[in-house]
A and B are shown apart, each in its own frame.
Chain A
Amino acid sequence: SPTVSMAELDHQVQLISKSHLETCQYLREELQQMSWQNFLQDEVESYQSKPREVMWQLCAVKITEAIQYVVEFAKRIDGFMDLCQNDQIVLLKAGSLEVIFVRMCRMFDSQNNTVFFDGKFAGPDVFRALGCDDLISSVFDFAKSMCSLHLSEDELALFSAFVLLSADRSWLQEKLQVEKLQQKTQLALQHVLQKNQREDGLLHKLRCKVSALRSLCSRHTEKLSAFRAVYPDIVGTHFPPLYKELFG
């Protein structure tokens, strides 16, 4: 774009990368140190034998913890807090879980097909009690395919911001403002991909991930409604209030 200079793009990349690193919940080094810690068979079985509602509640708590970090990330994105409050909420309601799925590739071990959860690395079988094997397996497949792109922290930061600033979310009041922010982020993402000498098709591959993320999130909503239909009181009284605000 003729209106954005290289220096501005560099600055944008630096700012978003810093916000990402300050709010990413776990540093890569920390995760690497814990990478040998997998759940033992009896621990896996203990997760599998938990009542469905207990496992759902545990996952809701973990998702909520991660969302708090995403909210902090959003607040530190240049321009986000200048949006009207309605739009800040709309973007976080629609995008926070998507960012968690993007961030998940940092906590994912492709070789073992495990993800860092509740203190150790867990395979999909740990989540069996949820009764959502198909969704869990899609989430793991998504993480694996994100991992295969080998994104650096700055690329991941820019992509997360791009996802969060989606200007096509329903109920936005100042769509144009969000569009401007998203375009600026996309330019910064392109800039960082070029600077890191990534292959030409990577931006296209990342764009394809956006629809996969939407599908995962709508399937999460469906599974939650099905769960809520059976256990309305559990959701009402035991789920974190922030989780209910976002997905209720």
Chain B
Amino acid sequence: KEKHKILHQLLQNSTS
């Protein structure tokens, strides 16, 4: 998870 921190974050952000 640490390796793809930003991608995880982008995926978790709700779609605007």
Q: Which B residue sits closest to A64, measured CB to CB?
A: B6
Interface residues in A84-120 (C-beta closer than 8 Å to B)? 85, 88-89, 92-93
Q: Which A residue sits closest to B14, measured CB to CB?
A: A75
Chain B interface secondary structure, helix, strand, loop or mixed? helix
User: Which B residues lie within 8 Å of A89 (CB)?
Assistant: 4, 7-8, 11
How many Cβ-Cβ contacts under 8 Å join chain A to chain B?
A: 31
Contact A75 B4 (CB under 8 A): no
0/1 string, A234-248, CB within 8 A of B gives 1? 000000011001100
User: Which A residues lie within 8 Å of B5 (CB)?
Assistant: 241, 245
Contact A76 B6 (CB under 8 A): no
Chain A interface extent, by class: 10 to 19
Interface residues in A35-76 (C-beta closer than 8 Å to B)? 68, 71-72, 75-76
User: Which A residues lie within 8 Å of B7 (CB)?
Assistant: 71, 89, 92-93, 242, 245-246
CB of B7, distance to nearest CB on chain A (Å): 6
Q: Which of A68, A75, A88, A92 makes the CB contact (< 8 A) with B15? A: A75
Q: Which B residue sits closest to A80, measured CB to CB?
A: B11
User: Which B residues lie within 8 Å of A85 (CB)?
Assistant: 1, 8, 11
Task: Using A76-B15, A245-B3 as known contacts, say yes or no to A71 and B8 having CB atoms under 8 A apart.
Answer: no
User: Which A residues lie within 8 Å of B6 (CB)?
Assistant: 241-242, 245
Contact A71 B4 (CB under 8 A): no
A167 to B4, CA, bound (A): 21
Q: Give chain A's interface residues, CB within 8 Å of chain B.
A: 68, 71-72, 75-76, 81, 85, 88-89, 92-93, 241-242, 245-246
